[in-house]
Amino acid sequence: MQRQPKVKFEQVKVIKGGAYNKHIILADANVPSKLSIDRLSNTLFFCINADEFSDQSFHLVVLDLDTGLNAIIPGIQNGFASAVEPEGAVYLGGSDGIFEFNYRTFDVYRPAILSGVDIFDMYFHKYLYFVETATQNLFVWKNGGKTSIKELNGYGIQHFLLNNFEDILFVNSSGVYMLRKGTTIPITFGGASTVAHFRGMTADINGLPYLIAQDGIYTIDMAQRHVVKTIPMENIFGLAFDKDNNMVYSDERSVVKLIRQHNPVFVNKNF
């Protein structure tokens, strides 16, 4: 069922000397997380926790970042993960497999692309990559079949992405790693990588990777092989970058967009 937009405009915030206008695009959401975005239409996909009266644990939601209009996507059992091709094709994963979704007609295409598996995380880079919940192994969907990324079997992958060089960056319970393209053994990152509680990974429109943690947003210093906190923020659950490279993030109850201001009249440093 589609809901009316709930958009609020708050005072200017500060991030590392830059002023940003904080727009609350969606309020009263139940722990929105696992954000992915179609930049062609500025449409966001994410999961929320189902309420106590539901027969499911999670639902997938579609949100128009320009209007605030949003709706729960029906027909995906325990919808949890999503991924978007640059051309706009949308893939949704839940406890019954992976489905393609047309949000213009609001149709979930059947049969499933891949059925009988529980999907934990997904990312699209030339092909669709995904993590199965049961094994926490990484696979790629290619030429109508799934193939294991065998170099990473047993690493217990929780979150991942591919960068512009097709290296695989990933998080597991022991830290942050990267498998360079053409190699067989991942390298590790120091700094906060072993102590932060990471909740996801994403990339901006330039392909630069970011990590989402309970206490803020992190980037990776490739030269020093360190994970570095760049934006301290409490209780952040998801992150994406829209078509203009504005930061879109979620906390326990809302989805927020930060828009850079060039001549702010009022500055409030508290998030």
Which one-letter amino acid corresponds to residue 200?
Answer: G
- At 260 the pLDDT is 79
Q: Which residues pair with 44 in a beta bridge?
A: 37, 63
Are the CB atoms for 266 and 13 separated by under 8 Å?
Answer: no
Q: Show pLDDT as tens, one digit a residue, over the chain (271 residues).
A: 344 344 333 444 445 546 788 899 999 999 999 999 999 999 999 999 998 778 889 999 999 999 999 999 998 999 999 999 998 899 999 999 999 999 888 899 999 999 999 999 999 999 999 999 999 999 999 999 999 999 999 999 999 999 999 999 999 999 999 999 999 999 999 887 777 899 999 999 999 999 999 999 999 998 899 999 999 998 999 999 999 999 999 999 999 999 877 654 444 444 5
Place of tokens 């504005």: 246
Task: Mention every residue, 6+ apart, whose C-beta is less than 8 A from residue 74.
Answer: 108
Q: How many CA atoms lie within 13 A of 271 on its CB side?
A: 19
CA distances from 191 to 55, 80, 211, 214 (A): 41, 30, 13, 16
- At 270 the pLDDT is 47
Are the CB atoms for 259 and 15 separated by under 8 Å?
Answer: no
Q: Rounded CA gap, 217 and 215, in Å?
A: 7
Place of tokens 């709930």: 6
Query: Taking CA 211 as the corner, what is the angle to CA 30 and CA 61, rounded to the nearest 5 degrees?
Result: 30
CATH placement of domain 2-261: 2.120.10.30
Whose CA is closest to 34, among 58, 6, 56?
58
- At 15 the pLDDT is 54
- At 114 the pLDDT is 97
The one-character DSSP state at 202 is E
Query: Cis (ω within 30 of 0) for the bond into 264?
Result: no
Q: What is the largest CA-CA distance in the chain?
A: 55
- At 263 the pLDDT is 57
Q: How many residues does the chain have?
A: 271
- At 262 the pLDDT is 63
Q: How many CB atoms lie within 10 A of CB 213?
A: 21
